[in-house]
Structure 1
């Protein structure tokens, strides 16, 4: 038994409402259960309850045991002085406010049917991948779609925290923030943190000034990454190395130390050399990238902006000093889709929030143009019959799995709540 189950019971009145009595045998009539905010302080705010002949307006606190009141030191916290009813599963002691007045207690287990408890235990003790995998298709379309929207924006809110941190670090330079986000996502999972370190190590003022020569951008990216540290019999390698140390001297900065980039288990097109060259190509092509990206509203417009290829040297190389068959190293549409999902949409969301703009529907429509991601979590949901049609739907499934299913937050999830409500 968990406390959030009691919150669910109280919020949705999943108990016998007609014969409620306190432990002192006073009749309880619930006029309003109150608002569950999930913050510190009492669990439900602004409840309206009649106890005996007296009407009360105040807060409701919920615990598994009455003694939890003292375990949590509520008796010394003024935030709990306005509690009008203590709802518990088991009553093991009387409780008092700081002014020594006794708080009425409702023992909830006396009014909840065994069937409701059994349904809860059945949902929460399944040994499946997610507890509701055999029932999730029973959820009505209206509930599911509303929950998808909530999950989508919760995911964006979480991603925005990183953006707000970057804003603070860069003195509110949105171009610099975009550069950090792009670098991190160009590095994918394996090299993302290293690419982010590279971006943070290079003041964006330098990127602005050097963006008119792609060789200088590559020299900076490869030099900071450590890819120019060795000696090689390669003309382009030596040219970049010379440029890098010249630029360090020009801007009076020391060579930063970052984590080494990884080639292992990457397809050649995802080698850090190729991705760094492509990132350089983006900034060589667009000196004011943020102003272009922040207003994009369609996948096709993003494809046009990010239609770049690695520099000429990398057309027939994947690593320095190792020539390969000539092949244009264009950013693929699949890769650009990842940039839309992980960089452009979160950036537009954070920017609109700070500027007080309402673009929620635009972001949803934008994401619905992007193809669904392909990964193990999405594949598992597909096996249950939930096949996402686009990235909006696949992103909500990822949020559902990672932030609710994995955390066992079924009673804070619209799907879990609806299943329990339907199982009477």
Structure 2
């Protein structure tokens, strides 16, 4: 259990929060009350469902309503991202003009840097179909006053709503871009998550909807593996927090992105199977998250709790994704003055310096060095489709890669990685 979990348990017990929510539907708590156990900023930052404290259960969530007050309730605050693997085929190329000598496209580290490069490359203009988009706002600002309906966590066949009023809560905008026709509010991340907090788009949209007359087009940017993933949303009812609808999604790269079946077949033929490492067999369904973790470890080593905070994981999941990196030889643990931390290996650091196409094929090679993936990928090459979970589980039992009680769960990870390889093909 994390320190944040422990502190929220103290608050739930002290203020009888769960009982109050069941009785009244909502519970308001002040920043000063939270500060009695820990800094409110750290206690209220939950960008994904998985990052919510254990005591919240699967239903309770929290929203800021003023600069010094929050509301808790059984709210449905998060939106799932579409699975990325199915969209890589739609990736488009983009270019940085040659005269920019200060830009290294292989060294885009921060969310702000990714947004800046995206703008320079004309990616947002292409995505929105709008010319001459210029960044006009960013940073922290006051929300102003507005009210909205938010859905409760789904229960049975119906869903109730609560009405929430916001008064000058703090809003942070990663980037606001404008031309004569539209204003685009952008939230940027340089880490791969499965879902996001709708508030990160909704509060900025409500702020600017009350100030300007132009159409507002909210966009979520995820930058990882040298891919700019843009998702445009709209709120079908501006007064309904949960009326979010995905308008379009596109992926962009500044490098050569053409990978063919012939490329994958060539890698498969040249790969030499290695003995299985003495590492826990994979239980990490999302290979893009394995890549994202490697990228962040290349910046600095992390303990399990830091990985959990970055990805919105529970600490157990941090181990799953770290062990997946160990399985491929990309990550390792080292003892230091601050204890045991996860590090990128020298092989992982070399891989991350490769160009996009070369790097993806190297990931494929590292996966196929393991016999189970090598043989299952052979069935893909012969049949043109991924084997089902039953076939994968049978192969896992045959090779005894993990205990029987773990086979079904870890078969999902194997299938996820195979799908990721297949989705690399874009021609």
- TM-score (norm: length of structure 2): 0.23
Q: Per residue, is there more helix in 1 or in 2?
A: 1
Q: Which structure has the bigger radius of gyration? A: 1
Choose between structure 1 and 2 for higher RCO, CA contacts under 8 A separated by at least 6 residues. 2
- TM-score (norm: length of structure 1): 0.23
